[in-house]
Amino acid sequence: MDLTFSPEQESIREAVRSVLADRIPAPRARAELAPDPGLWREAATLGWFGLGLPEAVGGAGYGLPEETILFVELGRSLAAGPWLGTVLATHALAAVPALREDLAKAVGGGTRVAVVDDPADELGDATRPSGTVRGVADGDVADVFLVLGGRRVRWVLARGGGVRVAVRESLDPTRRVADVSFADAAAELLGAEASSLRRTALVLVAAEALGIAERTLEASVAHAKTREQFGRPIGSFQAVKHRCADMAVRTEVARSIVTFAAVALRDLEPGAPRHAQQAKVLATSAALANGHDNVQNHGGMGFTWEADAHLFLKRAWLLEHAFGTRTAHLEALAAPWRAG
């Protein structure tokens, strides 16, 4: 049993972090908020989209724990772009030997994929989906929609017939959302299992949320050490210090369950589906609460557009609404107790 990061994993983290730091200047709010094509190309060159795929299909040969490292960093830097959909798509495509060309293109950064999450099959589960799904993250920049139904996984070209994308004003300026409507659209059925991809998605969204929790904790601590009032750093006051301590506890809780869930899912442990949901619940809770506290800790500055604090909180809300809210997951987790 070992839940520490190996030197190799640490070097993945360092590499990802330094690329993102170069590409995404802080404060974030002054920067270009749309996806950066240069970053996307560099990510493809560095193999980020195939990090968790076997080498035999063009991946780096790592697994979900290493992919969570990537997504923690993406969360920390508020990177814009359809990262999650594209990584999930490579997993879905890798399961189908006939689609090696599509896989190579996606791993190479040539396909941007947004996820349409439809667990209740409101689009129908046939090969020609019909209906509308709201709040599709990065729906406006997608080349392809990966439609996750109750059981099936479908691949729908965004610019094919029968697909309409209506961009909505997003709560989060760094991640756009869209309503995606299908009217008898042509879809290709992939062999992958929706439930398995959804569990991977839960852990990766949780990882991104963990990144938000980490970064807001660090920002609050840095501010509390330097900002002075009444002639002393505000971090010396228990009210501020204790709020920072609570942020640290939430972060540690989130980090532990996300790591545990990633390893459990990789190793097909029996508790893995439960842990994936728990990771999503606890990591988004940490991101939301830390995001809120971080605004508070920065006082008046925290309420401005100029400071980054609001961006982390807003991203946390998008993550909360990705792949099921806390309420939905907790009720699902309690369902076995309620049966019979």
Partner 1 sequence: MEIRFSAAEEAFRTDARAWLEANVPRDRRPVGADLAALRDYDLAWQRRMFEGGWAGVSWPREYGGRGASLMEQVIWYEEYARAGAPEVTTTFVGLNHAGPTLIACGSEEQKAFHLPRILRGDVVWCQGFSEPNAGSDLASLQTRAVIEGEELVVSGQKIWTSFGNVAEFQELLVRTDPEAPRHRGISWVICAMDSPGIDIRPIKTLTGDQHFCEVFYEGVRIPLRNVVGRLNDGWRVAMATLGFERGTAFLSEQIRLARRVEDLAALARSVPGPRGGRAIDDDELARRLALARAEVDAMRAMTYRSVSLAVRTGVPGAEASVIRLFFSELVQRIDLLALDILGPAAVERRVEGPGARWADAYLGGLSQTIGGGTKDIQRNIIGERMLGLPR
Site residues (CB under 8 A) for partner 1?
Answer: 1-6, 9, 65, 221, 224-225, 232-233, 235-236, 238, 240-242, 244-246, 248-249, 252-257, 259-260, 262-264, 267, 269, 271, 274-275, 277-278, 281-282, 327, 329-331, 333-334, 337-338
Q: Closer to partner 1 at the Cβ: 15 or 333? A: 333
Q: Least distance from C-beta 256 to partner 1, angstroms? A: 4
What tokens does 292 get? 């809120």
For residue 104, the tally of other CB atoms under 10 A from its CB is 16
Q: Least distance from C-beta 243 to partner 1, angstroms? A: 9
Q: Least distance from C-beta 201 to partner 1, angstroms? A: 18
Q: Closer to partner 1 at the Cβ: 181 or 216? A: 216
What Cα–Cα distance (Å) separates residue 277 from each residue in 28, 34, 122, 147?
Answer: 30, 30, 22, 20
Strands 131-137 and 177-182: antiparallel
Q: Least distance from C-beta 14 to partner 1, angstroms? A: 17
What tokens does 287 get? 């991101």
Q: Least distance from C-beta 277 to partner 1, angstroms? A: 8
Q: Closer to partner 1 at the Cβ: 90 or 259? A: 259
Q: Please state at what angle helix 272-297 crosses helix 326-338, rounded to 10 degrees.
A: 140
Q: Least distance from C-beta 212 to partner 1, angstroms? A: 17
End-to-end alpha carbon distance in the chain: 37
Closest CA to 127 of 167, 87, 160, 103: 160
In angstroms, the CA 290 to CA 202 distance is 20
Amino acid letter at 180?
V
In angstroms, the CA 87 to CA 32 distance is 23
